Structure 1
Amino acid sequence: MAQSSQLLDTSKIASKPKVGIFVDVQNIYYTCRQSYGKNFDYNAFWAHVSKRYDIDCAFAYAIYRGDDKQSQFQNILRAIGFEVKLKPFIQRKDGSAKGDWDVGITIDMIEQGKNLDRVILLSGDGDFALLLGHLEHKYNVPADVYGADKLTAEALKHSAEHFYCIDDTLLL
């Protein structure tokens, strides 16, 4: 009986592109509530993305208010596979509030994006348009953006290679 000496050539096995997911949790929460009256379905989103891509990193940026319900939600995100990054909610003396993650998301997307085939951003914030252009031009890393259509900045939609409007398949 002849024994085959051929080894499996793994270079011909197609691998999925490597992506990083970056979620502006507050933005997605409020835009989904305002646009659809529903919450975003992170489990459905993860299943959707993992069919096409190898998820290398996934970050969910949220505000910490010490609320039990929010802590439970953040634990659900962790169980799905997200690294949850928290920033304290700051109430100013004048009554205004502060609590956004734009700079943190930007730093992480640049640092992680260099090693990815694609980035996926969940936000409608037009401030990220410049960042996506930078990733595309400097590192040749395209971006997909998921957002509520009417509440996503046109500049952000145009800076993405693909814009995906959140629909019923991604809502609870």
Structure 2
Amino acid sequence: MVDIHDAQRVAVLADAQNLYHSAQSLYSRNIDYGSLLSKAVQDRQLVRAIAYVVRAESPQEESFFEALVDIGFETKIKDIKTFGDGSKKADWDVGMSLDAVSLAEKVDTVVLCTGDGDFSRLCTHLRHEGVRTEAMGFESSTSEELVEAADAFVDLSEREDTFLL
């Protein structure tokens, strides 16, 4: 496993939907994306920070998207899809994975800010390509497979005052 050093090039990929739902269900609070990005980068060289968000037509979301940009995230926005049966879906798993694989040759570390176990296979692939993988999420709502597949895991629950607004 590669240790952290300040010459490392880092990409931070934040699954905003997953983080939002975890923070709301566990604490009824929102994520502090500035602190999240700072901890993810840890004095290393940030190559790219991308927040994957879903447009759900809520009143505050445009200001949230703008705040993410001000913090240093590039936003990728997907509209929520409503199906005939009334169910709704919008996830970024494939988009995040494709971006991570595309960035792999340009970075030393990919930090996945999510608790979604679907990304465990991505971690395995990136490690095979020589890329360090780190995951950040709330342990109680993070897949064990993801924690095990990543080189390092940061439990956001351990520092609520840092990572929650």
Please, what TM-score do these two structures have when normalized by structure 1?
0.87
Q: SS of the residue aligned with 2:91?
A: coil
- Residue among 104, 107, 113 paired with 1:113: 104
Please, what TM-score do these two structures have when normalized by structure 2?
0.91
Distance between the aligned counterparts of 1:73 and 1:140, measured in 2?
34
Distance between the aligned counterparts of 1:136 and 1:35, measured in 2?
31
Cα distance, 1:43 vs. partner?
1.1
> How big is the alpha-carbon RMSD for the aligned residues of Structure 1 and Structure 2?
1.4
Distance between the aligned counterparts of 1:46 and 1:108, measured in 2?
17
Q: Tell whether the 8 Å contact from 2:12 to 2:37 is kept in structure 1 after alignment.
A: no
Distance between the aligned counterparts of 2:41 and 2:106, measured in 1?
18
Match of 2:52 in 1: 61
CA offsets per residue over residues 35-70 of structure 1, 9 Å max, x none?
A: 222211011122333442111001100111233301
CA offsets per residue over residues 77-100 of structure 1, 9 Å max, x none?
A: 011111100111111110111100
Distance between the aligned counterparts of 1:51 and 1:147, measured in 2?
16
The answer to whether structure 1 residue 29 and structure 2 residue 20 are counterparts is yes
Q: Moved runs in structure 1, 4+ residues, more than 6 A? A: none
Opposite residue 39 of structure 2, the aligned amino acid is: H
Match of 1:128 in 2: 119
Opposite residue 36 of structure 1, the aligned amino acid is: Y
Query: What is the number of residues matched between the two proteins?
Result: 158
- Unaligned runs of 5+ residues in structure 2 are none
The answer to whether structure 1 residue 40 and structure 2 residue 43 are counterparts is no
State the percentage of identical aligned residues.
33
Q: SS of the residue aligned with 1:52?
A: coil
- Residue among 120, 142, 145 paired with 1:152: 142
